[in-house]
A = this chain, B = another copy of it.
């Protein structure tokens, strides 16, 4: 019977149809636990990211979803909120469920051994967005240093000389790379990076909004802000507007990610497209290849970002 339901060529067409019809009639439900126990394939893929509600991950997840759907894999989502313990619990759950693989944006502080452990227990991993030093797995992410370089150079070319970097943390590879790209661009242009010009931390709209006060009170007031991501940029612009200044005129602001929202922000946000779709699609397809027994060599795949210029950046306005 199981052969018939799976359309095996070993079973004749009419027999197959008769069995399928009968199965439907009695409301037969295929028991995947039993099948998986026998075959040790579950058809489950885990995805764990910092926060699935963050629109940056949301766009990645959509493309992972559509890629996995085509291979009829069920995917289980989880947030780790950058808590190593939550991430470990989730990986443990995946192992217990016999998941076939995991796509993860590793939590801050993830040791390579965590990933090694998963792989050794038959749970192949693919990383997105962040790297883990020493983990021997494929990684798909944007070229962050290059991306913030694009944004910073754009501001420099408009004539800005005092440019702050708002948000992000040194605890992730992404954070270090984005900051480095900004610093490199500044130095290449012979510009100084004021010691207080980095406001580290913010990664949400709310935090960007709150950072506006600190930003506007900076010594040698910068005329532009290169933000960690679109959320911070939009929050910052709201904060700037609240303070009576006009973002895009009085202060130039760049974002990062090019979320759908960036285009409809007021003013429309100049930002760096980060290839979310690409990252998701390629990570999922690499994992599927692995599951199908193909050898996928560990590699750092850097998607090249692109600058999208809109209305939130302009020439600097010097005030008295």
A67-83 residues with Cβ-Cβ distance < 8 A to B are 74, 76-77, 79
Number of residues on chain A facing chain B (CB within 8 A):
41
Given A74-B93, A235-B264: A37 touches B29 (CB 8 Å cut-off)? no
Given A97-B32, A242-B266: A74 touches B76 (CB 8 Å cut-off)? yes
Identical chains bound together, number:
2
A10-34 residues with Cβ-Cβ distance < 8 A to B are 27, 29-34
Q: Closest residue of chain B to A40, judged by CB?
A: B33
- B29-A95 in contact (CB<8A): yes
- What string of 1s and 0s marks CB contacts (under 8 Å) between A192-211 and chain B? 00000000000001100100
| Cβ-based interface call for A84 (8 A) | no
| Cβ-based interface call for A320 (8 A) | no
| Cβ-based interface call for A187 (8 A) | no
Considering the chains assembled together, what is the distance between the CA atoms of A241 and B266 in angstroms?
Answer: 7
- What string of 1s and 0s marks CB contacts (under 8 Å) between A265-305 and chain B? 11000000000000000000000000000000000000000
Q: Closest residue of chain B to A51, judged by CB?
A: B58
The A contact surface, by secondary structure, is helix
Give residues in A with beta carbon < 8 Å to B: 27, 29-34, 36-37, 42, 52-53, 55, 58, 61-62, 65, 74, 76-77, 79, 92-93, 95-98, 121, 205-206, 209, 235, 238-239, 241-242, 260-261, 264-266
Name 21 interchain pairs, CB-CB below 8 A, sorted by A: A29-B95, A29-B96, A31-B37, A32-B96, A32-B97, A33-B34, A33-B42, A33-B97, A52-B53, A53-B55, A53-B58, A53-B61, A74-B93, A77-B77, A205-B261, A206-B260, A206-B264, A235-B264, A238-B264, A238-B265, A266-B266
